[in-house]
Chains A and B, each alone.
Chain A
């Protein structure tokens, strides 16, 4: 069970969190201009990353806040944690590392 550092609450056990799929997924809009292929890519063609993966997580049994996490899916090592809305690039240079 991982130990995850919520950017708002600090270190808490994985049991307090929910996994929310890939981070930085861009929702194609407006609907009328989105092709079937684009929409299918968005819905289903997700990268099943083996290795470092950008994910979003929610501290659902804590503060309820969503945040992003860069995590190695093989070793479960957490490389960095950054707030929702922050870009991956800025997080890498930031100080929110776990």
Chain B
């Protein structure tokens, strides 16, 4: 990585600052090693080292330099760190320097200083507003998309998993204060003293906001000392919590707030690795005080994107806070007083102020006159019109403006830095997110909060109150000793007059990050994209990762000029969260990997592990798919398990089966609403298979319901559907039939279930101490008995999903594992072996038993799976009944369940399409599809289920099935392949 330490320039100033000159540290940018100091931001260190080009623009790959000192940065986007810690799309202005930091520019190749894509700048005509919809039409966007994405990249995400931890934090506070500038600090002191619980959140590492770099005196002390005094007072209050390096990113309903806190981004990756890298807060606040300050706007003129052109306030921020300057010869362009502070401060640190172009005719504020008194020339009534310098600013030219007409004569000045100020935009993002309205304040030429709809208030610069003395009188209970300045009002100035053709056709950047120019805005207006939301999307203004922090207001004003509207008539787009980017890791927090969607383990989980189970996620349960024995592959294991069930006996952990108890005098009548089969006439201790429908008449679940008493039923559901089914019953009970006396209890996870399947199932149970008569005469198929098995109270349901003799043994979950082991031991002499879900799926398919959600979909009605007759005959009302009499439900050509016997040895592919009659190849209309398909070791040929139009009347027909590999043939047969008479399960 390292080549040599570069010392081309030294732009470090010999002034007091907040970097620690005793702690030099080294870092690299685009592969070169540089030095900086503790306390530097990456941006201040790059500036000190004379690195002017830090990135390439999004579309044209024009060289770009650092343009701000804060969260509004639109050019200096970098990626930090190396695999697997790399973080793409970080702002160099907000990255705190640490020893060994590795940074790279993101939109350039091989690097920002020498970018092979730079010639794209000449392709400007192809990248105009709406170019996505205009240029890449032929042959198709899909053809161009990969190339465009590569060129307009914003960093590379790491390929390896993120080794860092991230956390959630759920919190409440009475008062949240977003921003710890002077307004936020004063508010925190005021509310802190009231004893209420206050949370003060600051995005920077230090409190103070603009006081960190403004040269002013408060109460006779320096701004920094004043901040320290206020911080100490707040620290002494137990009810005040201060969180630094945290950004309030979102403001949602009822004062629900998200905060992105960066705990470890300022440290090398391996330091304090036990601490989460970031923490994402979910906060509910009683009141929100928005003290988020304001962001300076750049001015719009020709070639206003060159490295060296910066926001005026950023210049003094770098000088006063970090002790660096971006250059030695500085020109300033402004339409307001604030930029004169930069002139004063930069003059004080020894930079040469070449001149100031002020569009105002004859400004007379105190700051202006203080600058004049230093002998600095103020070109009033002038604007910067153009700049030069291919790899960084070399000179600028200015012209006089009168009555919105630009003088053709220009004056040129050599300078390496141009500070521009077009006024200040209050950071109203959080206010707007909260639903609050904005109005355009002509006095300060900015959008300010108008109407609050939640418990919140904006104060200080976020409220359009910019001067320190005014903020004190707005927020503080007691006045401070402060200098009061006479000010000259700002003059609106959004774009250069267009009376000179060369200027009119020039590249005047509005959105630096998304490369949108004033002519793109004009083009969008000509093409009638004048609604602000349409305009935004068409030009992509404000849609980049900075969300238009510096560009939106300029773009709206220029759109207004182009369409003869005032800026307030144009309006703003809705500000949406997040205010600044939040990493995906922080949002995911601990919900990654195994914790993303935690699986539930079975009562016998450890036994399954110890006995070679291969697990799969089945509806949120971690269940054995099969049990592998040594030397077996998956297919062989499944085949062995099936053979064992068919000839001996298998044991299955069936605990996830949905189990719902329905009790009460109205239990039978209530359950009748939930099945398309009759419930009330079910005899005691008998069980019945039933289908549950929704109101659309569609089959949503199935299961077996058993009458345990006159007023007590147990209903089973699919394992994935248990919670949904119980909740649905509860909804109907509370909302539709509150008069019914019934209690619904979901006992799915409370009860374990062991399923014994196979001809020897009865013999195994008889080996144990059991007080239930298991004989076929006494205990027939589809009935239930309660009793004691090995001393445990159990309920045994005689039923089968395999087609063999089967018993399901229900007991409290805590007994299930011990019972399992007893049964396994007792079954040894009968060759009992466990089987998994895959074997079960093959066996139920051989038997023609449907699997809800596999053989059914959201259009399946009872008729389609052979239950049409009982459903229609059922007299009493039930959910979905009326829908079964709609014309669509009564059609004779519905797709119904059939068995499919493939021609050939290979099983059909589930999901493949049945071609309409008479068609031999795809594409063709379809008559249905294959829903379940397996090799059947029992039958010796592949078995499949499917749905087929008019299936019932097409038995014996050979149909064509389109598969990815071609067209297969299959014979339509009855769904049940194995033991159609049911002798085995009734045995």
**B284 engages A3 (CB within 8 Å):** yes
A84 CA / B253 CA spacing, docked (Å): 25
What chain A residues lie within 8 Å of B253 (beta carbons)? 1-3, 14, 76
Q: Does A9 contact B (CB under 8 A)?
A: no
The answer to the question of B734 belonging to the interface, with a C-beta cut-off of 8 Å to chain A, is: yes
Are A27 and B736 touching (Cβ within 8 A)? yes
In the complex, which residues of chain A have a beta carbon less than 8 angstroms from the beta carbon of B397? none
Task: Say yes or no: A13 contacts B886, CB within 8 Å.
Answer: no
Cβ A58 vs Cβ B883 within 8 A: no
Residue of A nearest to B737 (CB): A27
Say if the beta carbon of A20 comes within 8 Å of chain B.
yes
Residues of B within 8 A of A85 (CB): 738
Q: Which residues of B contact A (CB under 8 A)?
A: 252-256, 282, 284, 435, 453, 695-696, 727, 730-731, 734-736, 738, 877, 881-883, 885-887
| Residue interface mask A74-86, B partner, CB < 8 A = 1 | 0110000000110
- Bound complex: CA A85 to CA B739 (Å): 10
- Report B-chain residues with C-beta under 8 Å of the C-beta of A42: 695
Known: A60-B727, A75-B435, A84-B734. A39 touches B883 (CB 8 A): yes
For the complex, what is the distance from the CA of A14 to the CA of B254, rounded to whole Å? Answer: 10
B877 engages A31 (CB within 8 Å):
yes
> Could you give, for residues 22-51 of chain A, a 1 whenever the CB lies within 8 Å of some chain B CB and a 0 otherwise?
000001111100101001001100000000
How close is B940's CB to chain A, nearest CB, in angstroms? 47
Which chain A residue lies CB-closest to B887?
A36
Residue in A13, A31, A56 whose CB lies within 8 Å of B256? A13
Complex Cα distance A14/B727, Å? 18
- Given A1-B252, A31-B877, A58-B731, the answer on whether A43 and B883 have CB atoms closer than 8 Å is yes
B-binding residues in A (CB < 8 A): 1-3, 13-14, 20, 27-31, 34, 36, 39, 42-43, 56, 58, 60, 64-66, 75-76, 84-85
A66 partner residues in chain B, CB cutoff 8 A = 731, 734-735
| C-alpha spacing A34/B885, complex, angstroms | 10
Q: Is the CB of A31 within 8 A of B734?
A: no
Q: Which residues of A contact B887 (CB under 8 A)?
A: 36
**Contact, CB under 8 Å: B877 / A36:** no
Q: How far is the CA of A39 from the CA of B879 in the complex (A)?
A: 12
Inter-chain contact B730/A64, CB cutoff 8 Å: yes
> What CA separation (Å) do A64 and B253 show in the bound complex?
23
CB A18 to nearest CB in B, in angstroms, measures 8
CA distance A58 to B886 in the complex (A): 31
> For B284, what are the chain A residues with a Cβ–Cβ distance below 8 Å?
3, 13
Least Cβ–Cβ distance between A11 and chain B, in angstroms: 9
Contact of A31 among B254, B255, B731, B882 (CB under 8 A): B882
17 inter-chain pairs at a CB distance below 8 angstroms, sorted by A residue, are A1-B254, A1-B256, A1-B282, A2-B253, A3-B253, A3-B256, A13-B256, A28-B882, A31-B882, A31-B885, A39-B886, A42-B695, A56-B735, A58-B731, A84-B734, A84-B735, A85-B738
* Closest A residue, CB atoms, query B694: A43
A2 to B881, CA, bound (A): 37
- Neighbouring B residues of A39 by C-beta, 8 Å: 882-883, 886
- Complex Cα–Cα for A43 and B882 (A): 11
Which residues does chain B contribute within 8 Å of A13, judged by CB atoms?
A: 256, 284
- A4 to nearest B CB, angstroms? 9
In the assembled complex, which residues on chain B have CB atoms less than 8 Å from the CB atom of A29?
Answer: 877
- Distance from A16 Cβ to chain B, minimum over Cβ atoms (Å): 12
Please, how many angstroms separate the alpha-carbon atoms of A69 and B26 in the complex? 61
B735 x A3 contact (CB < 8 A) = no
Q: Are the C-beta atoms of B882 and A65 separated by less than 8 Å?
A: no
Bound form: Cα–Cα A84–B731 in Å:
11
For the complex, give the distance between the alpha carbons of A34 and B255 in Å. 46
Most-contacted residue by chain A among B254, B730, B887 (CB, 10 A): B254
- Is the Cβ of A65 less than 8 Å from the Cβ of B254? no
Q: How far is the CB of B731 from chain A (nearest CB, A)?
A: 6
B730, B734, B881, B886, most chain A CB atoms within 10 A: B734
Most chain B CB within a 10 A radius of its CB, from A1, A2, A34: A1
Residues of B with C-beta under 8 A to A14: 253
A67 to B: closest C-beta gap in Å: 9
Specify which chain A residues have a CB less than 8 angstroms from the CB of B727 in the assembled complex.
58, 60
Closest Cβ of chain A to B742, distance in Å, is 15
**Chain A residue nearest to B257 in the complex (CB):** A1
Q: Chain A residues near B256 (CB, 8 Å)?
A: 1-3, 13
Q: Quote the shortest CB–CB distance from A14 to chain B (angstroms).
A: 7
CA distance A3 to B284 in the complex (A): 9
Chain A residues whose CB sits within 8 angstroms of the CB of B255 once the complex forms: 3
CA A91 to CA B889, docked complex, whole Å = 40
Distance of A84 Cα from B737 Cα, bound (Å): 11
List the 6 shortest-distance A-B pairs measured between CB atoms, nearest first. Answer: A3-B254, A31-B882, A1-B256, A66-B734, A2-B253, A31-B881
A53 CB to nearest B CB, Å:
15
Which of A27, A56, A75 has the largest count of B CB atoms less than 10 A from its CB? A27
Chain A residues whose C-beta falls within 8 Å of the C-beta of B738 in the assembled complex: 84-85
Looking at A20, A31, A36, A65, which has the most chain B CB atoms within 10 Å of its CB?
A31
CA distance A2 to B284 in the complex (A): 10
